[in-house]
Amino acid sequence: MSDAPKDIEELLAIPELAPVAPALRQRTSPALRMRHGAGFPPAVDDTSPGADKLGGLADVPRSLADPIYRRRSLVLQLDLARAHALLPGLPLPPRGLLHVLHDREGEHDDDRDVSLRIVGVDEPLRREPGPKVGHRARPLTLELEQTLPDTGDPELATIAFPDDDEVTYEAWFEARGALRRPPTHRLLGWPDWVQDPSLPPPPAPARGWRLLLQIDSAGNGLEWGDSGCLYIFVPDLDLHVGQLDRAHIFIQSC
């Protein structure tokens, strides 16, 4: 195989993948990649109100009185209007802030330590003080990307790799692995798995799970186990209407 692919289009153009490229293309899924700068984040959250960020302090409507913001640290704040501008048709409310909150003093592999909130922006925002121990703020930039199932994803079972053709499968395994460039923070799309996929049956009447968020370990205090990853999945029918209260939240660690 030639040099490692830089994106999905380069992967699909690899000659060794010609037998499965059409089937892979049908399974591409758009996502928003969330990137932040390298280096140690500052101690003070000086981001603008409503900024997209990992860590820092949550911005909430002035009249909101939800005690969870005093107990749990902010992991992610995402402006849904900006997300919609980049990814039209995003199955979440068109306005508001999406918050992921985390109890840093709980067990890092316990999904009960992670909470989701969507708050409105129809009134002035105030910055919550948060708990004594929090994650430092990392401003995020959002970019549209196309994603493919990972090498161990059950979705690959629906792709007819040629029988006894090790060249095609090895080319796929190497090329898909080369697309993993951590830290990978992602809204929607396909996940990059740290371990083998393990999802329970979705609650009825949903037909399956959809990735809502993948939040990677980013160092400097934001770690999930041993360089692991936080995954938030939502039943497909729930995500279609922006309902998040049946989310399946879990961590995979190296």
Q: What is the pLDDT of residues 63-89, one digit of tens each?
A: 999 999 999 999 999 999 999 999 999
- pTM here is 0.93
Tell me the two tokens of residue 39: 């280096």
Helices and strands in the chain: count of H runs, count of E runs: 6, 13
- 238: exposed, middle or buried (C-beta count within 10 Å: 0-12, 13-18, 19+)? buried
pLDDT in tens, 159-213: 999 888 899 999 999 999 999 989 999 999 999 999 998 899 999 999 999 999 9
Q: Domain boundaries in the chain? A: 8-252
Q: How far apart are CA 106 and CA 91, in angstroms?
A: 31
3-state helix, strand, coil in the chain (%, to 5): 20, 25, 55
Fold observed for domain 8-252: Hypothetical protein YwqG fold (2.30.320)
pLDDT at 106: 54
